DNA sequence: TAGGCCATCTGGTCCT
DNA sequence: AGGACCAGATGGCCTA
């Protein structure tokens, strides 16, 4: 399997490329619709009062309504019900993960990978997509600047890349976005370490001269 | 055989 | 009550 020469790789144009990814029926209407993102430490799992209604508590009306309607169930019936619920929950969870994987596949579909049968792992897909978008944004910026003026652009704080707070955007040598740098997963633990894999390449004309495409990951 | 990746199950939490 | 989301646990498969 010969790796694509740098700069000759073209984005795979598939049916997925032409259609925006369709959110599944079970998806949230909007990304992040689940109110606020979890706190840095994750959602409060130690809220023991939740059951008593301490944290959020069931509405009193609801509580008052409970009771009388339900007859006590036998252990067997309860066990049966629990198993049934668990099974349904497992099915839903499986479905949810399948949807998630479908979304990842769709993402892989619009990323330039090669050889074609090389499937990026989940984490590789996310990292590459992130860095690829970042690099394309930089390329657009360069194109923009070269159109209006010859000077070498110094990415300003705050523009299209403003979301990458804290990153040294003016440093072309540091292609990784801060997000990629963050955490224990170093960007260097990427495709470069996978002998069988070749790093996909965006059109060479989009790459700033000093950049090696392997920097994407 | 160890380590990486993945699918699945499971229980907890939050939301509707 | 039930669904969605999440993270931990577990076991299977594959590769170096």
DSSP assigned state of A133:
H
**Residue with more model confidence, A117 or A90:** A90
A79 pLDDT more than 60: yes
Segment A182-205 shows an average pLDDT of 38
Give nucleotides in strand B with any atom < 7 A to a protein C-beta: 4-16
> What residues have CB less than 8 Å from A157, skipping those under 6 apart?
A169
Mean pLDDT of chain A: 54
- CA–CA separation, A191 and A212 (whole Å): 13
- CA–CA separation, A173 and A41 (whole Å): 32
A85 pLDDT more than 70: yes
Residue A198: beta bridge partners? A114
pLDDT tens-digit series, residues A127-186: 999 999 999 999 999 988 877 665 444 433 322 322 333 232 222 223 344 444 333 333
Q: Which residues touch strand C (CB under 7 A)?
A: A 26-28, 34, 38, 42-43, 58, 70, 85, 88-89, 92-93, 96, 195-196
Q: Select from A187, A192, A10 the least CA-distant residue to A114.
A: A10
How crowded is residue A109: how many other Cβ atoms within 10 Å of its Cβ?
16
pLDDT tens-digit series, residues A166-180: 232 222 223 344 444
Q: What is the pTM of this model?
A: 0.56
pLDDT at A217: 52
CA of A183 to C1' of B7 (A): 25
pLDDT at A115: 65
CA of A145 to C1' of C7 (A): 45
CA of A77 to C1' of C10 (A): 29
- CA–CA separation, A158 and A137 (whole Å): 13
CB A49 within 8 A of CB A58: no
């Amino acid at each position: 399997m010969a790796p694509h020469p740098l700069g000759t790789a073209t984005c795979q144009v598939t049916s997925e490329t032409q259609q925006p990814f369709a959110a599944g029926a079970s998806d949230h209407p909007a990304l992040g619709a689940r109110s606020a993102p979890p706190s840095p430490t994750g959602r409060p799992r130690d809220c023991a009062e939740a059951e008593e209604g301490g944290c959020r508590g069931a509405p009193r009306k609801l509580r008052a309504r409970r009771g009388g309607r339900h007859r006590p169930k036998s252990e067997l019936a309860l066990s049966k019900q629990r198993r049934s619920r668990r099974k349904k929950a497992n099915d839903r969870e499986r479905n949810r993960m399948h949807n998630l994987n479908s979304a990842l596949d769709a993402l892989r579909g619009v990323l330039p990978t090669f050889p074609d049968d090389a499937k990026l792992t989940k984490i590789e897909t996310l990292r590459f997509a992130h860095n690829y978008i970042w690099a394309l944004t930089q390329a657009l910026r360069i194109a923009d600047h070269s159109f209006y003026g010859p000077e070498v652009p110094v990415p300003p704080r705050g523009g299209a890349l403003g979301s990458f707070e804290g990153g040294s955007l003016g440093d072309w040598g540091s292609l990784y976005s801060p997000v990629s740098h963050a955490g224990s997963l170093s960007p260097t633990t990427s495709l470069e370490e996978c002998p069988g894999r070749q790093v996909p390449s965006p059109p060479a004309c989009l790459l700033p001269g000093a950049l090696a495409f392997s920097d994407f990951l």
